[in-house]
Structure 1
Amino acid sequence: MSLPHASGHSSAASASASSPTSAARAFRPPAPVPPEAPRRTVSFVLAAARNPLEIWSRRAFREPVSRADWLGVPTFTINDPALIRHCLVDNARNYAMQPLRQRLLRPILRDGLLTAEGELWRRTRRAMAPVFTPKNILGFAPVMRARTEGFAERLMARDGETVDLSFQMTLLTYDILQATLFSDDIAGEPQAFARSMERTIAQMGRVDPLDILNAPAFLPRLGRLAARGAQEHLRQVIRATAEKRRALLAADPERAPNDFLTLLLKTDGLSEAEIEDNIVTFIGAGHETTARALGWTLYLLSQAPEERAAVEAEVDALLPELPDPATWLDRLPRTRAALEEAMRFYPPAPSLNRTAIAADSFGSTDIPAGSTVLFLPWILHRHETLWEAPDEFRPARFLPENRGRIDRFQYLPFGAGPRVCIGASFALQEGVIALAGLVRRLRFHHAGTRAPYPVQRITIQPRGGLPMRIERRPN
């Protein structure tokens, strides 16, 4: 039995060359080498448990639509932007969360926005929309800048040292997270909370062979059992912190900080348990994804000196003239382009998995009811029919003058349609502010003996970390 991609379909996929021609010696970021032929069953299961990025054959990066059957279920991988729009936007109600994805995430996130479905999801999305207004997001920009600058100052004192930059970025984004989510007002010991958070996130998205084989839920997944204590401690701290904030809001609302916790507690339509679930979701989906995006961006810039010089020149010239960090996202196009190109290679959400509720048809593609439908930014962002030089690091393709060449549905770092990431603007703003603040003061040089190897968990992580040597830039 062959696994994806066993057969190709004709499709109306756009074959636009969506990036400008650039330097001939562009850096090619590391990635697993796709096998020439689709994997057989045993090889597929082992690869999926080890690293899901390794299961896709070369055909996956060339075909607009492909189909294979897994355990008797038709499985479609979609790389046609028009069909992606149809499934995720125009007919989104026909595509529910895929059961494997839910088995991985629901034990941790429960009824958070990322895993909620149906009327619960619609009610939660409506309730949380006021929390993520542009006004609220922009209001967090000064905190993001201050925490980044403080973090950069501490790293400057380590000039010449080699650090695991992947871990350092989790520290930075955790600092920003606790400042914007809790205003540093966490009940209990912050370091214990941080450790529980890291153990919980490490388990999220880790595929067990029993999940791939659709084994009954009562069969234990050992990795999840090992992380259960950390998950419960995380939730205990969140409950205690929320209770403390509720008491402050009742006694003296003027003293309560205007952070995400306060905004969530003021929402209508969410129970205490649902607020807790969405805080866990925000920690898992927000903190981890931004940390990985920053780490990969700084690594890629370290391997592309001309691109790094362009970003450094931009922040050196413009940051002194831009005291308000809320303007940086729009005023630092090269910095933003580097971050977005890094997210093309290493997308925050590498897979978006759905199940067709009813039969559907689009163009020459017929999708039976019950089919698994995969939208995989890991493949889509590297697809040979959609991108010019897809394996080359070319941030210029995301500059404003070139952005129009990219179809809205060929670049999905935050998903698309009704379930697009509600925190996308927060994450993008945080990423640009943090990247600019770090590049202004520091330069990082890869110090590993080999290129970092990307592994998919809930995000795409560098196996073994990112060893990088710190260099303090002259002011």
Structure 2
Amino acid sequence: MPRNAPGPAPHQIPGLLRLAVSDPLRSMYQTVSRYGDAVRIPFAPGRNIHLFCRPEHAEHILVARQQRYGKAFTYRPLREWIGLGLITSDGELWERQRRLIQPLFSHRRVSTLQPLMVDAIERMLREWDERPEGSVVDATEEMSGMTLDIVGATLFGADLTADRDRIYHAVETLQDAVTKVIKNPLTWVSAKAARRTSPGFRQWDQAKATIDEVVTRVIADRRSGRAESDGRDLLDALLNARHEDGTGIGDVQLRDEIVTFFMAGHETSANCLAWTLYLLSTSPAARERLEEEVDSVLAGRAPTQEDLDKLVWTRAVLSESMRLYPPVWTVERDAIAEDEVAGVPVSAGSTVIVPPYLVHRHPGVWSSPEAFAPERFLPERSGERHKYAFIPFGGGRRGCIGNAFALIEVVVALAMITQRYRLDLLPGFDPVPKVTVTLRPPQEMAMALRRRA
């Protein structure tokens, strides 16, 4: 028989929501610790919030019954800044966009972009080579600049080096903006009203204008012929793509998709690499094993497509980093039809939350879940866990379309950095993540550059 999941009483909900606004991760931890793996929060008459944190729940909601769920109301603020790209669209529009864009991100097609990734990473390493031994860098900002160069080269065929600093700060500003607006109660009613009543919205509009200016310039340069192309990048593919009826992509949709890839394409990879460098600096044995593998497989040269499958420990290190600090830390859906999840009834109109951050740290699924242990992801141990115990890019048809691109990018970047440098964390860094749309390092990640022999 279906049964309502346990959860807080109505008089406890205001306190729970206040904690969720100030410290979302702590709020989730406390809630599941008290009520269990499935929690029901009666938010308003006829409208519940459900929190589900087991792999079986993720598979049910994101895959098996995904047709019963649509984008949650929490995605509305994102539309105010990035428009109706794949991340924020829904229904027929999303289906049409997905069919058009999915082939552009096939593993085979993305693999052809690897040499451009190598060139962008090499440019950063050459900059490091000019610095004295022991120089201190902000790993978060360095990784953001590098991944932005990769996005510019591979997706747009453009050199964005001159725009690096202002784009970095614009993306950071918009991340904070979306987070603040989501926490505004008016988001339930109107994302536009929530935006206009959240402090700082004029600064956010300026950040959006910065992103739009760069994207508009890149598109205009390509269309005018001022920017040359070898036909491999995403912008060419989008301009040449055709729907089933033969029509091309419209200007508004083109802008929305480019902004979506622009922001999501470099932010998540940059965070992944920054957190990985932090974790390696606190785990000498894991770092030494990484160095041994990279030296053995690459023998001092740049990685090729054939090398990626041989970098087994490198991939395990990155997977463990994404387990602890997933690029997508929470996935939210609104139920558009009644459902039942693990015996818990979910009424239409309810919001369900499946946080990869909690799924990845579930003590009943992972041994020593807070520990950094890359060996969990070695091939011989892959059969030990549920298929949806590890969902750093979401799951189902709405899973991240750029996951193949991101995985190639971070493996190549970590291998090339490891070939030449060790980055040692300086004292004073607090590893508690800053919760925005992604999990960002909370402050400057100061690390000393040490050249390897």
TM-score by length of 1: 0.85
Task: Report the residue type matching 1:307 in the other structure.
Answer: A
How far 1:85 moved relative to its partner? 1.6
Greater shift after overlay, 311-320 or 290-299? 311-320
Q: How does 1:233-272 map to 2 (within 5 A)?
A: 233-248=210-225, 256-269=230-243, 270-272=249-251
Q: Give the counterpart of 1:447 among 390, 408, 426.
A: 426
CA RMSD of aligned residues (A): 2.7
Does the aligned pair in 2 maintain the 1:49–1:207 contact within 8 Å?
no
For 2:317 and 2:186, the matched residues in 1 are separated by 35
CA distance in 1, matches of 2:255, 2:99: 17
* Cα pair distance change 1:394/1:459, threshold 3 Å: same
What is aligned with 1:163? 137
After superposition, residues 184-195 of structure 1 pair within 5 angstroms as 184-185=158-159, 192=166, 195=169
Alignment partners' CA distance in 2, 1:38 and 1:437: 53
Matching of residue 223 in structure 1 with residue 197 in structure 2 = no
Q: Of 10, 21, 27, which aligns to 1:55?
A: 27
Aligned counterpart for 2:380 among listed residues 373, 379, 401:
401
Give the share of equivalent positions with the same residue, in percent. Answer: 32
Instruction: Please state how far the C-alpha of 1:414 moved relative to its aligned partner.
Output: 0.4
Q: Secondary structure at the match of 1:218?
A: helix
Contact 2:68 2:337 in 1 (8 A): yes
- Structure with greater helix share of residues: 2
Give the one of 437, 450, 453 matched to 1:471: 450
Question: What are the ranges of 5 or more consecutive residues in structure 1 without an aligned counterpart?
Answer: 9-36
Task: Judge conservation of contact 1:69–1:75 (CA < 8 Å) in 2.
Answer: yes
* C-alpha contact 1:188 1:237 (8 A) present in aligned 2: no
Q: Which one of the candidate residues 71, 95, 98 is aligned to 2:69?
A: 95
Structure 2 counterpart of 1:133, from 106, 111, 115:
106
What pairs up with 1:17-36 in 2 under 5 angstroms?
A: none
**What is the aligned counterpart of 1:112 among 85, 90, 98?**
85
1:95–1:356 contact (8 Å) kept in structure 2: yes
Contact 2:38 2:51 in 1 (8 A): yes
- Of residues 317, 326, 338, the one that matches 1:347 is 326
Q: Where does 1:265-344 land on structure 2 (aligned, <5 Å)?
A: 265-269=239-243, 270-320=249-299, 324-344=303-323
Per the TM alignment, residue 136 of structure 1 is displaced from its structure 2 partner at its CA by 1.8
Deviations 1:8-46 (A, max 9, x none): 9xxxxxxxxxxxxxxxxxxxxxxxxxxxx9994444344
Quote the residue 2:246 is aligned against: none
Structure 2 unaligned regions, length at least 5? 244-248
> In structure 2, how many angstroms separate the alpha carbons of the residues matched to 1:7 and 1:189?
48
* Partner deviation per Cα, 1:179-199 (whole Å, 9 max, x = no partner): 112222569966655554454
Alpha-carbon deviations, 1:56-76, whole Å to 9, x = none? 234526833222222342121
1:283 aligns to what SS in structure 2? Answer: helix
Measure, in 2, the Cα distance between the counterparts of 1:223 and 1:329: 44
The 3 A distance-change label for structure 1 pair 196 and 66 is closer
Distance 2:10 2:287 in 1: 37
Separation in structure 2 between the aligned mates of residue 218 and residue 353 of structure 1, nearest angstrom? 21
Structure 1 residue 473: Cα displacement: 1.1
Q: For residues 60-99 of structure 1, what are the structure 2 equivalents within 5 Å?
A: 60=32, 63-72=36-45, 73-99=47-73
Query: RCO (CA 8 Å, sep 6+): is it higher in 1 or 2?
Result: 1
AA matched with 1:463: P
Separation in 2 of the partners of 1:146 and 1:401? 33
Shift in Å at residue 328 of structure 1? 3.5
* Alpha-carbon contact 2:268-2:327 (below 8 Å) kept: yes
Distance 1:141 1:299 in 2: 25
User: Any idea what the Cα deviations from partners look like across 1:388-433, whole Å, max 9, x if unmatched?
Assistant: 1111111000011111212221111001001010000000110110
Aligned length: 438
